[in-house]
Amino acid sequence: PNRWEGKEKPDWLSRALARAGAMPQDEAEAAIKAGRVSVNGRVATTPLTPVPPDAVIKVDGLPVRKVVPTHVLAFHKPAGVLTSTARQHRTGTVFEVLLPQLPLELNRYTWHAVGRLDVDTTGLLLFTNDDKLVAHCTSPETNLPKRYVATVFSIADDARVEPLRQGMLLDDGPARPAVVRVRDEHTVEVTLTEGRHHQVKRMLGAVGLPARALHREAVGDITVEGLPESGFRLLTDEEVREKLRYTGRAPEGPVSESEDA
């Protein structure tokens, strides 16, 4: 059980090819089964073939560069699509909206959504080819702020939202204090440094301000401003480093899979 303690664990072959940007994972699986891929000079025909960190991978006899830069996309999620790789019933997914737009040099990667937004929530959703960045952005240990704007049914004022600023108890445990600003009587801005299932909606509902609509404006210092609905842009290395505070290291501790929506 401690075979890989202190060492980098091997990846499996199809995922290693996708992470390297050689080809999407489904195409990688087909190439492997067709005998086009070798690992350390031996043809591999199983997509789950383990690939040690120092292995030499070749496709059609050409070496694959396994170390690739981190790429991050900012995407303006519209309402009515799932943050999922599979559609449910007739509801489509964010991948169905995003992937057809990508140029070839970006379409070769396997993209991961950074957290989730609920089907009716709009706004900034990040995608990356680096699963360590997913952990960095979604872990509460990172303290990366996420800013939301909620349109609420009832009348909002500072007294009503004060419990959110103080920290409140939800049904799944205590919530950290949030930064809250009342923009007008029906619009509340909420900034969190953690992400739990429907957290913003549940916090507002707990103080009698049920949300009619929810929009995420920012993650870290990356904003959705100027990005058309369903549009995307590639972040610069400087933005990833400075605005998402990411240097290539995943945080220790728990990771939130659900995010708040």
Residues of the chain above pLDDT 70, percent: 91
Query: Do 40 and 123 reside in the same domain of the chain?
Result: no
Q: Averaged over 250-260, what is the pLDDT?
A: 52
130 phi and psi, to 5 degrees? -115, 110
The answer to whether 118 is a known catalytic residue is: yes
**Region at 175 (left for phi over 0; alpha for psi -120 to 50; beta for the rest):** beta
Count of the separate structural domains present in the chain: 2
Q: Which two tokens stand for residue 232?
A: 């995307």
| pLDDT above 90: residue 109 | no
Tokens 């500072």 map to which residue? 158
| pLDDT above 70: residue 5 | no
Listed range (52-56, 138-142, 151-155, 221-225) with the worst mean pLDDT: 52-56
Angle at the Cα of 125 from the Cα atoms of 86 and 116, rounded to 5 degrees: 50
CA dihedral 236, 240, 243, 244 (to 10 degrees): 150
251 is a domain residue: no
The candidate with the shortest Cα–Cα distance to 240, out of 161, 152, 129, is 129
What is the 8-class DSSP label of residue 41? T
80 phi and psi, to 5 degrees? 90, 5
| pLDDT above 80: residue 252 | no
Query: Do 160 and 240 reside in the same domain of the chain?
Result: yes
Query: Do 39 and 136 reside in the same domain of the chain?
Result: no
13 phi and psi, to 5 degrees? -60, -50
Q: Averaged over 178-183, what is the pLDDT?
A: 98
127 phi and psi, to 5 degrees? -130, 145
Residue ranges making up the domain that contains 45: 11-63
Query: Do 36 and 94 reside in the same domain of the chain?
Result: no
Q: Report the CATH number at residue 200.
A: 3.30.2350.10
pTM to 2 decimals?
0.81
Q: How does residue 208 score in pLDDT terms, banded at 50, 70 and 90?
A: very high
Query: Do 228 and 127 reside in the same domain of the chain?
Result: yes
What is the 8-class DSSP label of residue 173? E
Structural element, H or E, at residue 163: helix 158-166
257 is a domain residue: no
Q: Report the CATH number at residue 46.
A: 3.10.290.10
Q: Which of 118, 131, 158, 171 is catalytic?
A: 118
Query: Do 28 and 131 reside in the same domain of the chain?
Result: no
- Give the pLDDT confidence score for residue 6 in this predicted structure: 43
